Amino acid sequence: MAENLRRIREKIAEAALRVGRKPEEVKILGAAKGQSTEKIREAVAEGLTLIGENYVQEAEKKKPFLSDLSLTWHLIGHLQKNKAKKAFELFDLIETVDRIEIAEKLSKLCQKTGRRLPVFIEVNVGGEENKKGILPEALPELIRHIKDLPGLEIRGLMCIPPYFEDVEAVRPYFRRLRELRDELQEKFDLPALTELSMGMSHDFEVAVEEGATIVRIGTALFGPRTPKK
């Protein structure tokens, strides 16, 4: 685990420096889908502070065994409306808001509890039918609806671009997400909209070169997922 994290940090630093960025601008999120709590503990011992889970149920099972650790939990998988309340209770930040009904549900929960919830908007930058996220052309209208909802703070954009063996083919999608963030920040006067969650084990170096502030690393950090019993 220590060696994996060292290698990832080194690659992030090299990618950042290539484009004149500071390596400390990029945070590593441990994408813990299918990973054991023991592996998460190992990563935290090496300095990891951000954990991402794809499924509400999986986070619900793991969190009690990790409650002694200082962790920030992100939901990085699709959020169903019937899981919104549980997700609201479990996660510090939700990266996958992509429709108004989910945003409204989360806003109502914020109003009930007095909590402010940071969120990212998931964008389907490749327009893929099998992927979640809002299409880029519909994003301004969604932002217009969400930006004034009580309790919600739009902090960033997130994407899962099409997969290519050649990571250079992914670069235009990361660049597009950065451009969208910059356009929205200016158009809607959203100074808090600074984060870009993009890049995974296969392509995070290119994502860093294109402006990622959070890279979601699973197997390159934790190794293979724990087989289901």
pLDDT per residue over 96-135, tens digit each? Answer: 999 999 999 999 999 999 999 999 999 999 999 999 999 9
Task: State yes or no: pLDDT of 226 exceeds 90.
Answer: no
Is-above-0.85 flag for pTM? yes
- How far the first Cα of the chain sits from its last, in Å, is 23
The CB density around residue 42, as the number of other CB atoms within 10 Å, is 18
Query: What pLDDT score does 97 carry?
Result: 98
**8-58 tens-digit pLDDT:** 999 999 999 999 999 999 999 999 999 999 999 999 999 999 999 999 999
Q: Which tokens go with 162?
A: 């099409």
Neighbouring residues of 98: CB distance < 8 A, sequence distance ≥ 6: 121, 122, 123, 124, 132, 133, 134, 142
- Number of Cβ atoms within 10 Å of the Cβ of 90: 18
